[in-house]
Structures are given as structure tokens and as C-alpha cells.
């Protein structure tokens, strides 16, 4: 990255607070030291001011900050600093999401210990973040791998265990064969592990689960109250929770062995039911497996086919007739065959469905394959044809014509028919309306070392015994090796073998650790009292919670945010959070990424070769070869399009980096990093600095012209920038600041007005460029620190001018303008407008059909 040249002149004045050149490295270090000394970012409870908790999603300590961090934390910092200057008691903490596989992978690849690697990275990243000048209360910093943190997490786990929010079960789990651990459903993406990308296998293991599914309904309902969350995120969570309303209907077996309970969201199609299909894991299937070798072979085939999620999605629909028959619940003289279907999921609904081929494509394909009946339950109005190879599945809001419907409906929408059918079944006690959810319980066991140990002991006599709280934290052992695949805790006898907390006999610790998403599901609450001897301090939590503004990437829209919402509820139940905090994040903002072009050449075999941005000048490499430019994409090491914040800060300063990542693009969208954009940001800051120097040297008494214009522009800018910051319109606020800077630069106003203008400019810029703003504030003799100075207030009287220029439209097209006193009444404006040349020309002697006058806005003449 080329360094922008500095202005050549340099006039140092004796006694001046500033050098004439803008020197960010000097300014930034100085003001950061001043903030530290004043301790202004240290948060303490106070009854005098309203509290404001602003939080950015804490980083994983990979070892290096990237531009995405800079953008994320700068946005939070703008909010935090703005709130501080508007009289709020601000909490703005930072920590480290420090457990996880990369530390183990590093230990395997380069040797050493995950702990050394992680804490080393944290130290490095803290050192890289501090120069950004963020208004963070570093006294609250913690890492999730600190025993003080994960010990409290273990205490929380034990409380949740006692409250029945955690349980152990034998379950089919998603097994990642590369990371050699299980994954939550949420961590399986397109059948592949979210981290390793490996095809996920099915395995049966005994695992710990959080009972999140019990709260599915509430987690869904409460989304409506999250008005300050992006609609998109609420919708994604709603889809993920996946509520459906249907009915459980028992089908009576003809062999007298009870019923098979089927779940359906379309009981209105009951007339077309032609078979029942159960999951290969259904108790009915399992019972038959023992006595019927053919079925056993088929079930076995289903299980083997189930090895990968990816294969499952593409797998052919297969089934086998069990020979069992059930009675149709509405038409008891009809009997339906019971099949085992490989497509029926045991863990959704009841693990059994009735098939209605006419109105479900999958059922139809299945019926055609195995020659089962296809009967319509309804037709489209005026189109009474039987289904052939395309199932008739109209929207539930469309009207259809039912055939001999047992509940008596005829031409109604499917939804109306569903409601009527459920009523009909319930009235006869033949079935029960149900809401079901797609959301499953959250499996938290991981067969890894570098995570929070699950604090239980397995005893032959007592079973699963919770560790005693006074024995917490259960600390990870340091003497482990990673030369053999699998979990080192499993083969660590001195750590693993402990006496049973209950009976004292030799027992074994649980060697699984917790999913790292557990760590990040309550850290926001811990920040309110990071050194407390319990997971939280209720007084502190009640004061600081909720997070008023949470900021992070859209990639956490489901996992992290849903788990956190669950944890807040669990922490309320276990007494660690007040009821008011069950929705922990009042407002959520999802910011876009920082992207960059990719520079590519090709090797002799035509394969792409990528080049670092700093190696490319004017589209060429140092050796003069042309570089192909591929449009902007997420910065990634493999594409070599990463711009390192450290280099930018070294060349231009933190203020420039902060200013740039906020300008140009709306914060929720991606912003493209460009070298020219960064230079523009730097130039702007230099310009502001130069203006302040110039004003500092002005003759204090010389009269100027246009004071009023400058002050009006100033108040307009205060108004616009305040609106921009309040509404996350940082890019728009920055545009206004550019405009005002240009106005100030050209102004011929007197000293007092110019000084007021530049000090206001410094204040308005302070959330984005705090260091430069402090320097200007000091140079102009501002009281105290700009960071703690009260936010400027726009004078309403200065926002309205005496005269306004109104555009005149003729038939909606702009044809002229008119300047009138701002308070002129409508009739007078109309009269003057009609007298203009443009209107006279258009009227051509006639009279207008209509004249619309919008005061202060526009005049439209219809001819």
C-alpha cells in the first residue's frame, strides 16, 4: 500500500498544541494514553445516568485481526461513544471466544499446547486492537478458556442439570469423521460439517442434550417482540424453529395390537389416504424386525444407506410392506397397508405418516412405484380430473372443491378445510390438534480436548453423578499430547480417574467437553460481573442487562443467537438472570463484510495464481505482467485478497481505517476495500486537520462574512449526522460531514463562527475519528475531552431559513422554480407560481386544471 504523501510545508508555531502536519501515529498514541489515564471507559453502576450496553460479537483468537473486526468494532465504538456523549452510562466490553478446534489443530500441526497457542494469540490480537482506540472497558476482559469463566459455566451446567434443562440420551448423532467429533444439527450444512467440510455420518452415541425443543414454541412466539432485530434474522429463526400446526391421529391396527399414531398437517386430505408409512426406527418396525428376515434386511439397508446426510437427501424413496393393516379412521370399512418408508424421520412428528398420493408429490411417487391407490380428496374448481403423475398441491389459501368431505365442507380454501377437519376429529375424540417443531434438542457433547469439561462423573454404582460445586472448576489437564487422533482426555488416566462424588468409590470423569457455542451463549451476561464468584451477579445483571445494541455478522443469525436466547431463559429458570433478560439483545444489527478484489494470473498450465494487493500496482505485478482483476469477494487467505489492518494503521492511522470502513457503503451491506478509498479517507482527515490549523491562526478580531450561513450549515449538519448515527446510517452521516467540511473550508466567516464550526465538526466526527477529534478539540481550547463532552444540539431555529426555493412542476415534470418567504401561505405561493414564465408558457392562455402546493416542498400545476 502506497503511503500518501504529506503536505510539504510545515510551520510550527511556538506554544502551539499541534504540529502543522497530520501525524496520526503520534496523535493516536497520545490520546489513547489520555483516555487510559482518565479511565473514562471503565463502566461502573450509576443511578444518575441511563445505562447503555453495547456489544460486538466477541472474536475467536485466531492470532490476527482482520478488516471485518475493524468494521464490526468500529461500528460498536461509534454507538458507544455517541451514547457516552449523550449522557449514557455505557458498558462496552471485549473478550475472547477462545475454545475450539483450531487450537488443537495448531497443536497437532506445529506442536505445542492449545493453551499456549490461544493465550499467545489473545495477547497478539489485544495488541493489534488497542491501536484502534476503541472505547472498551478492558478491565472486564476475559477469555472463555479461563478456568474462572468455564468454571462458572460448569456451575451453570449443574444448575441446568438440576432444573431438568440438560439430559443424557442415546441418539443418532451427526459424526464429523475429520474432526472426529459430533456436530449439532445446526452445524451440519448441506450434509457437511460446518468447520471441516467433511461428509457427515450418522452414529449412535450417548450424548448430553439441552432441552431447547421444550422452548421451541416460546422461542418462536417471542420473535414477534424483537422489533429492533432485522426482519430477516427473525424470519430465519422462525423457519429454523419450523412450527407446523397439524393433528395426531391414531390408526387402529387390524391385528388388535393397538394403534399407530400418525402426524399430519393435511388431515383434510384424509379421503385420499391410501397407506401408512413408518420410519425404519419406529417401534413397530423394530418389533417386526425380530420376526421377519425380509423386513430386517430392508431396515438394515435403510440404516446403511443413512451413513451420510448428503446421500440421504438424494436417496431414492424406498419402502416395504409390513403386511400389517390399519383401519381408515374416517371410513372404518377401508383398510390401509402399513409400509416402512426410508424417507420417514423418526425424530419428527410421531415417526409415522399416512400417505395421500393425490396431494403430495413424494407420496405420489411412492404410490406409483409400489402400485398403491391414488384418490383425490379435492379438485380445483371447474377442473375435475383425477391426479395422474403430478400431485395436486395448491396453496392453502386457494379455494378447492372437496369430494364428499366427512366434515361437510365443499368449496373452501385448504386452510379452512384443515381447521374444520381438526375440529371434526377433536369433537369425535379421533385425534388431537398439535403444534410440532422442526427444532431438535441441542447436543452439546464434543469428543475434544480444548473445550469446557462437562462436570460429571460416571460411577458404576451411582450412575451419572454431578461434580460437587466446591470442586469446580474441573480444570483441563495441561499434560496432554495430540500425536494420536481422538480426544486426549480419554487416554489421560490421572485426570480421568476420580472418586465418585457421591459414594467415593473409584469412578471416571466425563471426558466429553462442551460445544463451543455454549461458551458464547452467556458471555454477554458474564460481562456484567466478570469477576463474580457465581455465573452472574444478579444486581449487576439487573442493572446492565439487556444488551441495548448487539452487533455482529449475519452468519450467526441462527446458531449463536438462538442458543443465546435459550440460555437467557435457562439462566432465568436457574436464577442467574432476571426475567426481564430472557430476550438478552434488545436491538441487533448485522453488519456486512469487508471485501476486496482478487488479483489473478495464470501459470503455464493455465491454473490460477493469486497475488496479494500490495504486490499489484496499476493492474501490474512488479515484473510488469498484467493481472486479471476478479470482482470483490470476502477476504480470504487462499485468494490472497486480504488487506491487513495493521499495515493500514501503520500507513494512515487508525482514524483513517475507522473512517473508511464506515464510509461508502451502508453498514448492513458489504463494503469493498479500495486503496483509493482509503487514501480519500486519509486526505479528508488531513484536510480537516489543516482547516483546524488555519482557524487556530486566524486573527481573533478580524470581521468575516457569511457567519450566519456557516452556522446554519453547522446546525443542519448536527441534525443530519445525529440522525445518521442514531439510525445506523454511518455512510450518510459521513457524506454530510464531507459536505460540511467543504463548506467550512471555503467559508470567509469570522473567527468565532469558524472556531465553533470546526469544534462542532470535531465533535460530530469524534465517534468515527476520536483521536483527530480530540486533537482539534484541544487545539481550539475545548474544555476537557471531546469524548466526554456533551453531544452538540441542533438549534431548531437555525434549521429553517427565511426563504425557500420551490421547484415548480407542470404535470409532474420540473419546469422551473420560485423563491418565496418560508412562511408564505399556500394561496400566495400558488398565485406567484402561476405568474412564472414557465407556467404561463405551459398554460398558453388557458387556466390550470389543478394546482397542488406542498408548503416548503413543491408546486405542481396540472394543465
The answer to the question of residue 720 lying near RNA (CB under 7 A) is no
H-only helix segments in 130-270: 147-162, 216-221, 231-241
Q: Between 730-746 and 675-696, two packed helices, what is the crossing angle to 10 degrees?
A: 40
The answer to the question of residue 687 lying near RNA (CB under 7 A) is yes
Member of 64, 399, 683, 694 binding RNA (CB under 7 A)? 683
Member of 3, 49, 410, 669 binding RNA (CB under 7 A)? 669
Binding positions for RNA, 54-113, rule CB under 7 A: none
Taking alpha carbons only, the member of 562, 569, 565, 525 closest to residue 545 is 525
Closer of 84 and 733 to RNA (Cβ): 733
Closer of 80 and 278 to RNA (Cβ): 278
Taking alpha carbons only, the member of 733, 814, 734, 787 closest to residue 32 is 787
Closer of 663 and 780 to RNA (Cβ): 663
Please give the grid coordinates belonging to residue 51: 445505562
**Span of 327-335, 575-583, 771-779, 810-818 interacting with RNA by CB under 7 A:** 810-818
Member of 686, 692, 722, 747 binding RNA (CB under 7 A)? 686
The answer to the question of residue 232 lying near RNA (CB under 7 A) is yes
Binding positions for RNA, 260-289, rule CB under 7 A: 263-266, 279
Size of the site for RNA (CB under 7 A): 84
The answer to the question of residue 475 lying near RNA (CB under 7 A) is no
Binding positions for RNA, 325-364, rule CB under 7 A: 342-346, 348-351, 353-354, 360, 362
Other beta carbons less than 10 A from residue 620's beta carbon: 13
The answer to the question of residue 369 lying near RNA (CB under 7 A) is no
The answer to the question of residue 127 lying near RNA (CB under 7 A) is no
Closer of 503 and 862 to RNA (Cβ): 862
Q: Closest separation between CB of residue 836 and RNA, Å?
A: 11
Other beta carbons less than 10 A from residue 59's beta carbon: 21
Member of 296, 315, 430, 542 binding RNA (CB under 7 A)? 315
Quote the CA–CA distance of 540 and 44 in Å, as a whole number: 10
Closer of 211 and 815 to RNA (Cβ): 815
**Span of 94-102, 157-165, 569-577, 852-860 interacting with RNA by CB under 7 A:** 852-860
H-only helix segments in 292-335: 293-305, 309-314
Taking alpha carbons only, the member of 233, 267, 260 closest to residue 559 is 233
The answer to the question of residue 706 lying near RNA (CB under 7 A) is no
Please answer whether residues 613 and 641 qualify as being in contact, where contact means their C-beta atoms are separated by less than 8 angstroms: yes
Quote the CA–CA distance of 716 and 235 in Å, as a whole number: 38
Please answer whether residues 440 and 185 qualify as being in contact, where contact means their C-beta atoms are separated by less than 8 angstroms: yes
The answer to the question of residue 419 lying near RNA (CB under 7 A) is no
Member of 178, 312, 646, 752 binding RNA (CB under 7 A)? 312
Member of 739, 832, 834, 843 binding RNA (CB under 7 A)? 739
The answer to the question of residue 561 lying near RNA (CB under 7 A) is no
The answer to the question of residue 641 lying near RNA (CB under 7 A) is no
The answer to the question of residue 817 lying near RNA (CB under 7 A) is yes
At 207, which helix (H) or strand (E)? strand 201-210
The answer to the question of residue 115 lying near RNA (CB under 7 A) is no
Residue 672 DSSP class: E
Please give the grid coordinates belonging to residue 830: 400558488
Q: Hunting for cell 374444520 — which residue is that?
A: 420
Closer of 415 and 674 to RNA (Cβ): 674
3-state SS, residue 598:
strand
Member of 112, 217, 729, 848 binding RNA (CB under 7 A)? 729
The answer to the question of residue 634 lying near RNA (CB under 7 A) is no
Residues facing 531 on adjacent strands: none
Please give the grid coordinates belonging to residue 501: 462424588
The answer to the question of residue 11 lying near RNA (CB under 7 A) is no
The answer to the question of residue 239 lying near RNA (CB under 7 A) is yes
Closer of 117 and 175 to RNA (Cβ): 175
Binding positions for RNA, 169-198, rule CB under 7 A: 189
Please answer whether residues 67 and 594 qualify as being in contact, where contact means their C-beta atoms are separated by less than 8 angstroms: yes
What does residue 787 show for φ and ψ, rounded to 5 degrees?
Answer: -60, -35
Taking alpha carbons only, the member of 610, 545, 550 closest to residue 572 is 545
Q: Closest separation between CB of residue 473 and RNA, Å?
A: 34
Please answer whether residues 762 and 781 qualify as being in contact, where contact means their C-beta atoms are separated by less than 8 angstroms: no
The answer to the question of residue 679 lying near RNA (CB under 7 A) is yes
Amino acid at each position: 500500500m502506497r503511503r500518501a504523501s504529506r503536505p510539504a510545508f510545515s510551520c510550527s508555531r511556538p506554544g502551539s498544541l499541534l504540529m502543522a502536519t497530520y501525524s496520526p501515529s503520534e496523535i493516536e498514541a497520545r490520546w489513547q494514553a489520555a483516555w487510559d489515564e482518565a479511565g473514562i471507559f471503565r463502566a461502573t453502576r450509576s443511578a444518575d445516568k441511563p445505562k447503555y450496553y453495547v456489544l460486538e460479537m466477541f472474536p475467536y483468537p485466531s492470532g490476527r485481526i482482520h478488516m471485518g473486526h475493524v468494521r464490526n468494532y468500529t461500528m460498536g465504538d461509534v454507538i458507544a461513544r455517541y451514547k457516552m456523549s449523550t449522557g449514557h452510562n455505557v458498558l462496552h466490553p471485549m473478550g475472547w471466544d477462545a475454545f475450539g478446534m483450531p487450537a488443537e489443530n495448531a497443536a497437532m500441526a506445529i506442536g505445542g499446547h492449545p493453551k499456549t497457542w490461544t493465550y499467545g494469540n489473545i495477547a497478539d490480537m489485544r495488541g493489534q486492537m488497542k491501536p484502534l482506540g476503541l472505547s472498551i472497558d478492558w478491565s472486564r476482559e476475559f477469555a472463555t478458556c479461563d478456568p474462572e469463566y468455564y468454571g462458572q459455566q460448569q456451575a451453570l451446567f449443574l444448575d441446568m442439570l438440576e432444573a431438568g434443562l440438560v439430559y443424557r440420551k442415546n441418539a443418532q448423532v451427526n459424526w464429523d469423521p475429520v474432526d472426529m467429533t459430533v456436530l449439532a444439527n445446526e452445524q451440519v450444512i448441506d450434509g457437511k460439517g460446518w468447520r471441516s467440510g467433511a461428509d457427515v455420518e450418522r452414529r449412535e452415541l450417548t450424548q448430553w442434550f439441552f432441552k431447547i425443543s421444550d422452548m421451541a414454541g416460546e422461542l418462536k412466539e417471542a420473535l414477534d417482540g424483537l422489533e429492533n432485530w432485522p426482519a430477516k434474522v427473525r424470519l430465519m429463526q422462525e423457519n429454523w424453529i419450523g412450527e407446523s400446526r397439524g393433528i395426531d391421529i391414531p390408526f387402529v391396527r387390524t391385528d388388535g395390537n393397538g394403534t399407530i399414531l400418525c402426524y399430519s398437517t393435511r388431515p383434510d386430505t384424509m379421503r385420499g389416504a391410501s397407506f401408512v408409512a413408518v420410519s425404519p426406527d419406529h417401534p413397530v418396525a423394530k418389533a417386526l424386525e425380530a420376526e421377519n428376515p425380509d423386513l430386517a434386511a430392508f431396515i438394515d439397508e435403510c440404516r446403511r444407506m443413512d451413513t451420510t446426510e448428503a446421500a440421504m437427501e438424494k436417496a431414492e424413496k424406498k419402502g416395504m410392506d409390513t403386511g400389517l393393516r390399519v383401519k381408515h379412521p374416517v371410513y372404518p370399512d377401508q383398510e390401509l397397508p402399513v409400509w416402512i418408508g426410508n424417507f420417514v424421520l423418526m425424530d419428527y412428528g410421531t415417526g409415522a405418516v399416512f400417505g395421500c398420493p393425490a396431494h403430495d408429490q413424494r407420496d405420489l411417487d411412492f404410490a406409483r412405484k409400489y402400485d398403491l391407490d391414488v384418490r383425490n380428496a379435492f379438485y380445483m374448481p371447474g377442473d375435475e380430473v383425477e391426479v395422474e403423475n403430478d400431485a395436486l398441491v395448491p396453496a392453502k389459501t386457494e379455494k378447492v372443491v372437496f369430494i364428499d368431505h366427512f366434515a361437510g365442507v365443499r368449496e373452501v380454501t385448504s386452510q379452512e378445510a384443515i381447521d374444520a377437519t381438526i375440529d371434526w376429529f377433536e369433537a369425535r375424540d379421533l385425534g388431537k390438534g398439535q403444534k410440532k417443531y422442526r427444532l431438535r434438542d441441542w447436543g452439546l457433547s464434543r469428543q475434544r480436548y480444548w473445550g469446557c469439561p462437562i462436570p460429571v462423573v460416571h460411577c458404576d454404582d451411582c450412575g451419572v453423578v454431578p461434580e460437587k460445586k466446591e470442586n469446580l472448576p474441573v480444570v483441563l489437564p495441561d499434560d496432554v499430547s495430540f500425536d494420536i487422533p481422538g480426544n486426549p482426555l480419554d487416554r489421560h488416566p490421572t485426570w480421568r480417574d476420580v472418586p465418585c462424588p457421591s459414594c467415593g468409590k473409584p469412578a471416571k470423569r466425563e471426558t466429553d467437553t462442551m460445544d463451543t457455542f455454549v461458551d458464547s451463549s452467556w458471555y454477554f451476561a458474564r460481562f456484567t460481573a466478570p469477576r463474580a464468584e457465581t455465573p452472574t451477579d444478579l444486581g449487576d445483571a439487573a442493572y446492565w442487562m439487556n444488551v441495548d445494541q448487539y452487533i455482529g455478522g449475519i452468519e450467526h443469525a441462527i446458531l449463536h443467537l438462538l442458543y443465546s436466547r435459550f440460555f437467557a431463559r435457562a439462566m432465568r429458570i436457574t436464577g442467574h438472570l432476571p426475567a426481564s433478560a430472557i430476550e438478552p439483545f434488545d436491538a441487533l444489527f448485522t453488519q456486512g463484510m469487508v471485501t476486496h478484489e482478487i488479483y489473478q494470473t495464470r501459470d503455464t498450465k493455465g491454473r490460477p495464481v493469486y497475488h496479494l494487493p500490495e504486490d499489484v500496482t496499476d493492474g501490474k505485478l512488479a515484473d510488469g505482467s498484467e493481472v486479471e482483476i476478479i470482482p470483490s469477494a470476502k477476504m480470504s487467505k487462499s485468494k490472497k485478497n486480504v488487506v491487513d489492518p495493521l499495515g493500514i494503521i501503520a500507513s494512515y492511522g487508525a482514524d483513517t481505517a475507522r473512517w473508511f470502513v464506515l464510509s461508502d457503503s451502508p453498514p448492513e451491506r458489504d463494503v469493498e476495500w479500495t486503496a483509493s478509498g482509503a487514501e480519500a479517507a486519509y486526505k479528508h482527515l488531513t484536510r480537516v486537520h489543516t482547516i483546524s490549523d488555519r482557524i487556530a491562526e486566524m486573527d481573533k478580531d478580524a470581521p468575516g462574512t457569511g457567519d450566519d450561513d456557516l452556522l446554519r450549515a453547522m446546525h443542519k449538519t448536527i441534525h443530519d449526522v445525529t440522525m445518521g448515527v442514531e439510525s445506523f446510517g454511518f455512510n450518510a452521516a459521513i457524506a454530510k460531514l464531507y459536505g460540511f467540511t467543504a463548506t467550512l473550508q471555503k467559508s470567509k466567516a469570522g473567527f468565532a463562527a469558524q472556531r465553533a464550526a470546526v469544534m462542532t465538526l470535531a465533535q460530530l466526527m469524534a465517534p468515527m475519528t476520536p483521536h483527530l477529534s480530540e486533537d482539534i478539540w484541544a487545539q481550539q481550547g475545548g474544555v476537557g475531552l471531546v469524548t466526554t463532552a456533551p453531544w452538540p444540539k441542533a438549534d431548531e431555529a437555525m434549521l429553517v431559513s427565511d426563504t425557500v426555493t420551490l421547484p415548480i412542476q407542470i404535470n409532474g415534470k420540473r419546469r422551473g422554480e420560485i423563491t418565496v418567504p418560508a412562511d408564505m401561505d399556500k394561496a400566495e405561493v400558488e398565485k406567484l407560481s402561476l405568474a412564472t414564465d414557465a407556467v404561463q408558457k405551459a398554460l398558453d392562455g388557458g387556466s390550470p386544471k389543478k394546482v397542488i402546493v406542498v408548503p416548503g416542498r413543491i408546486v405542481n400545476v396540472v394543465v
